[in-house]
Amino acid sequence: MIKILINPFEKYSENKLLIVGIIATIIGVFLGLLFNGIYDGVLDMHPVKDISITEIIYSLFINFIIIGIILFLLGKFINPKTRFIDVLSTIMIAKIPVYLLTITNFKGFNYELGLEIQNKLIQNQMNNLSVLLLSKLILITILSLIVLVWTISLLYNGFKIATNLKSSKHVFLFGISIITAEIFSKIIISHFL
């Protein structure tokens, strides 16, 4: 069961993965709308006060285009037999944990926590956090870290299977590509939204 959550790419066909990816993306859009979360990066989501469905779809579209192109080009460099459908299913499946993270913004929980922390920083009171505030912060941090590790694991495992990745040099390039895609996503999405 754990293997399916971390590496479904070994067993399942690209068609099945793509269908699951598409369904997950649709659910992700609605989760983003329901819990006011925007997917402005490849690896993360940010809670906001309010968001429209157009903004969510746009941010996801930009995400997929950027990470898809970067990973596909890297994939072709590593292994000319890399197929785009395998890269696409990887990035769609890897986004699933991020969609789940939107639930932390239930009734604006995560967004308001961010505002409280921001206020404490501005007032230079970061060493004077209440137990409740600290507990909320720790909870969100732990959940965010779990999602981050899970997303990166899925991306890596999917990309490894799609390209038959072996050398540490290529793993390093994969890491650089993810960071590059994250930076480009943030810049483009924040510029147009």
Using CB under 8 A as the binding rule, whether residue 49 contacts other proteins is answered as no
Q: Exactly one of 52, 119, 130, 164 binds other proteins (CB under 8 A); which one?
A: 164
Using CB under 8 A as the binding rule, whether residue 38 contacts other proteins is answered as no
The nearest distance, CB 13 to other proteins, in angstroms, is 6
Q: Do 161 and 42 contact (CB within 8 A), yes or no? A: no
Q: Do 141 and 114 contact (CB within 8 A), yes or no? A: no
CA distance 174 to 131: 40
Location of structure tokens 């986004």:
95
Using CB under 8 A as the binding rule, whether residue 161 contacts other proteins is answered as yes
Per DSSP, helices labelled H in 95-130 are: 96-101, 109-122
Of the listed pieces 42-50, 103-111, 148-156, 158-166, which binds other proteins according to CB under 8 A?
158-166
Contact positions with other proteins (CB under 8 A) in 67-126: 79, 81, 83, 86
Question: Smaller CB distance to other proteins: residue 87 or 178?
Answer: 87
Structure token digits, residue 104: 């932390």
Contact positions with other proteins (CB under 8 A) in 6-35: 9-14, 17
Sequential DSSP letters for 62-104: HHHHHHHHHHHHHHHHH-TT--HHHHHHHHHHHTHHHHHHGGG
Residues near other proteins (CB under 8 A): 9-14, 17, 79, 81, 83, 86, 161-162, 164
